[in-house]
Chain A
Amino acid sequence: MSFTSVFFLIVFLPVSVLCHYFAKEKYRNIWLVFVSIAFYFWAGLSFLVILLASALVAYGIGLGIGKVKKIAGKRALLGVGLVFHIGVLFYFKYLFTAITYFLAVVKYTGHTMTIDFTSPLLPLGISFYTFSMISYIVDVYWEKVKVNRNFGIALLYFSFFPRVVQGPIMRYSDFEGQLQGRQVTEEMLYHGIERFIIGMAKKLIIADQLVKVVDYAFDNSGAIGTAPAWIGILAYLLQLYFDFSGYSDMALGLGSMFGFKLPENFRYPYLSASCAEYWRRWHISLGEWLRDYVYMPMSRTLLSKKWIAKSKNPMMLCDICALFVTWVVTGIWHGSKLQFLAHGMWWFAFIAFERVRDAKRKKRRKAKKLPVKKNSVIQNIGDHALTLFAIVFGQVLFRANGLRAALSYWKTMLTASQPDGIVWLLVLTNSALVAFFLGIVFCFPIYPWLMKRKCMQYKGVQAIYSVLLVILFVLAFAYAVSAGYTPFLYQVF
């Protein structure tokens, strides 16, 4: 069930939010479990069964870890839990590709083999809820959270519908703390609705209007010229950002309507001054999850290794190695194709470079007794340019129809040509041009700037703002009804 579908908007949302709002506190969580199950059921009973089974396993593993006294036992249970959840994810998301590559290798060696296996349908949000389950059992193992003995609560955490499909990935500790005694104030309801409408508008009025421009560029990547290639990737940067951040806004808005404060997932990433900063502003919850559950444990493990300790710069080497593993995981998480692994390696290369560069800069400044953290103007411009370069060319890897297509696209971007002439101008409709304009403008923190204005304190201005939001909602709703179905981009993960 998409957040922009008619069924969600006119049936599910008002019923779930208003029943929750007017219900007694003791029934609210039960109601939330029910609506979350109902939401996931809408994707298919088979998918719901998989979610419930995974939730049961995660809950059971948590209970087991809490009960077992010995570290070895806890570690074993953790291992079982990790193998199970990663195994389920692997089966649905990666097994088919793995078999394909395996058979290709077999063929390359001159042998023949057939394996009868068709790619199963990917359960909705499996990448997201699997990470939530893994983080729960790991946090229980690390004793960062208490074992949850209430399956209903665990199920609610794993399946909470605003975030089950595309995140944000939330820690159990953050979620649990908001379960009991939470209030849904009018303020939260207001801000939730505001956020939801803004998210709808981002998705429908900006992101979806750029689909044709992006599809034209990437589906014809072998035949387009330089100008449409650049316009295509710029459109994709806007489309992806506004689609995903729009969804996140809707999720956060829904969370707020239920009294939850879900973590922010985007913070104007295209303003980043470095690649590392970009990943602290883009899909923040994923970055933090990978930092806490892959990078940090990997760093701790590597630091204890002799070959690291013996190296010239053990901290740097440990950092780079941990980064490498983290970006391999990041790449694979996004998809099973080689291009996603390449996408992960792309970012690894840039972030590793920045680490080394920044370390050298720090060393140089220390030697010259200059302020450590102050870059020159030229350095700042260079850093921004490098970041934008990494973003623009990196996202080609992400969107292209394969690795070869991505390389071909890069070549088109970098060599002046126009095999398709100016025919690509046909995709630049007024809707697309307006979306481009709005997209570029709202890549900047316009909303926070606006909210800080003194005029926003006046009730008259607030009333006008509310009316404008209502109009925006009706417009976005009209878009949702009229423009056909365009799925959220990150839903495929």
Chain B
Amino acid sequence: MSKANRILPVAFFGILLSFLVLFGLRVQDIHPLETVTPAPEESAVTWNGLWSGGWQTDYSVALQEDFFGHNDLVRFYNQYKYSILHELPGNWIIGEDEYMFYGLQTESYVCGSRAAMGTEADFDAYAKEVRAFQDALAVRGKSFVYMLEPAKCIVYEELLPWNYRLIANQYADDADSNYAMMITAFQNNGVQYYDMTSDLLALKDADEHVVFANTGHHFTPYAASVGLNQMFTELAPEMPDLDFPTIEINSLTNEVFKIDTDIKIASNLWFTRAGTVPETTTFTYSHTSENSVYLFGSSYGAEVRYCLYSAPGVAAFNNFLFQQYFTSTTNCSVTDGATASLFTSSSTPEDMHMAENILRADLVMVDQQPSEGILLTHQNFFAYMNEYFANEYYEEGEDLIMMESSLPSVSFTSFYEAEPWGRWMNGTESSINVNLMPTDVERMNRGELTLTGRSVQGTLVMDVYVNNHFVNEVSFTDTMTTISLPMNGEWVAEDNTISFVVREGACSPFVAGLSEDARYLGAGMGAVVITGGED
């Protein structure tokens, strides 16, 4: 055999043996890949696993991604696809001028009504939820705006790959597309929204490179600032109580080729025009508004956050708090500096103190880029907050005793768990905290406090206080009795404590020889109801 023909077997087995030896020595790959889920671990050897082939499969799967050279082979594959086939790995597509787009979002946009996430009725129901949230904020003296941000494929439609462009030309403007249905639903339901699309398209006409980075998924902070400035200008007359700053560019750098958090997949190539993260645009503001702003949003919100809080002590608002999906919180204020608290993806709104953060703000913003996943997250957000608001304040006539202790409007101190008939006081002093809507306070001061209760045995005498004001003394017997107490003072506030102090009659049923219950019980409260007086 000629030497020329020896190249192949030598190279072939040389390559394979190198991998085998390095695998055998468990040499780890040096350069990790970006945004890749960790390789699954090998499972323990079990008889069942061997019998069914499950262990063998697990081992093969684990090895598939965990051998020396794996990452460089992946990079080689990605580079080949990028350089020769003009394609990107994962869910990314590459269009003209090396512009990268997120595939799923782009597909959804170009397919128009064929990619609709729901029906007109679905979007109408969503808009109603948003409107309910907006109204609840208004009652609490807060303003709201729903920001719509265009996806990159909307701004740079002409740079999409040829097949996406052809489809977009035909379907993207469908009246039944997600975007069109959402706008219609918002308009029909009176939702306060602002659509940045026309602002960013105008910006692109002026300078096509500054709206989205070529290799970025997010709009640039510069583009965000242009959109925000326009939005603040439009909102100012409608929100006269708020003070809006004007965002000014301090320094503008070329952000065309950067790798932002969503396009790190481009780091899994050897050579792209996506470089390392460069210096970015910095901002100043005409003044720092005294207002506090809360933003619930998507990853685009990070750019919004960046252009509203340029550096410690340099901010557009006195306080700006950004919560991204249900995962992270970034709190920026003029005096404290930017602090970021990161939570796991299984965070609950309670863990994130979502409601408290919203209630501290003067202006609440929600940002939406067109994406099904984000819409679903936002649906959860509005559902949660609307339920919170529905339960934030006590509703007149409701029985406080049977309300769940987890609700924001009520909490119990020194009461046992609710039973079907009511709750026992734990000892001689117990209280109930109840929040009233500010507009209800005055009426409740002219209203009635109705108590239904009983003793363990005999007569129980108890003093009733509202916010440390003595209301009256009540007596209960061992059968349920209802007593109404007028509230004729200025005792009631937004945040109230109704206290019960037993002077005589508290005892243990066990000691009294009545049952096995050894607890020391005060009054057994069947109902506590506040009703308002005449206006």
Contacts and interface: CB of A to CB of B under 8 A. Distances in A.
A425 B166 contact: yes
Given A193-B12, A423-B171, A481 B74 contact: yes
Given A14-B20, A466-B4, 19 more contacts: A1-B56, A7-B63, A10-B19, A14-B16, A193-B8, A194-B8, A421-B171, A422-B170, A423-B171, A467-B7, A470-B15, A474-B73, A474-B76, A475-B80, A478-B77, A481-B77, A482-B74, A483-B77, A485-B64
Given A463-B7, A481-B77, A430 B87 contact: yes
A186 B6 CA distance: 8
Contacts of A9: 16, 19
Interface residues of B, number: 51
Contacts of B17: 14, 18
A430 B81 CA distance: 9
19 contacts: A5-B60, A6-B60, A6-B64, A7-B64, A11-B20, A197-B12, A422-B170, A425-B166, A426-B111, A428-B163, A434-B85, A462-B5, A470-B11, A470-B12, A470-B15, A475-B80, A477-B73, A481-B73, A482-B78
A198 to B, nearest CB: 12
B87 A45 contact: no
B146 interface: no
A300 B91 CA distance: 59
Nearest to A475: B80
A190 interface: yes
Interface in B510-531: none
Contact of A45 (B6, B16, B53): B53
A225 B7 CA distance: 50
A430 B51 CA distance: 42
B160 to A, nearest CB: 11
B2 to A, nearest CB: 6
Interface in A413-450: 420-423, 425-426, 428-431, 434
Interface string A11-23: 1011101100000
Interface in B92-145: 107, 111, 114
Nearest to A479: B77
Contacts of A478: 73-74, 76-77, 80
B163 A426 contact: yes
B20 A459 contact: no
Contacts of B107: 426
Interface in B274-309: none
Contacts of B52: 44-46
Contacts of A459: 2-4
Interface of A: 1, 5-7, 9-11, 13-15, 17-18, 41-47, 185-187, 189-190, 193-194, 197, 420-423, 425-426, 428-431, 434, 459-460, 462-463, 466-467, 469-470, 473-475, 477-479, 481-483, 485
Given A5-B60, A481-B64, A14 B13 contact: yes
Interface of B: 1-9, 11-13, 15-17, 19-20, 23, 50-54, 56, 59-60, 63-65, 67, 70, 73-74, 76-78, 80-81, 85-87, 89, 107, 111, 114, 163-164, 166-167, 170-171
A459 B81 CA distance: 32
Residue from B5, B59, B67, B80 with most neighbouring chain A CB atoms (10 Å): B5
Contacts of B65: 481
Nearest to A427: B163
Contact of B53 (A15, A46, A426, A431): A46
A470 B60 contact: no
A187 B20 CA distance: 25
| Complex A-B, nearest 6 residue pairs according to Cβ-Cβ distance, in ascending order | A44-B53, A478-B77, A186-B1, A466-B7, A463-B4, A425-B163
A429 to B, nearest CB: 6
A469 B63 CA distance: 25
B344 to A, nearest CB: 27
Given A14-B20, A422-B167, A425-B166, A43 B8 contact: no
Contact of B63 (A6, A431, A462): A6
A462 B4 contact: yes
Nearest to A425: B163
- Counting chain A CB atoms within 10 Å of each CB, which of B1, B13, B50, B53 scores highest? B53
Contacts of A193: 8-9, 12
A14 B86 CA distance: 34
B377 to A, nearest CB: 25
Which of B52, B86, B170 is packed against the most chain A CB atoms within 10 Å? B52
A462 B16 contact: no
Contacts of A482: 73-74, 77-78, 89
Nearest to A467: B7
B23 A11 contact: yes
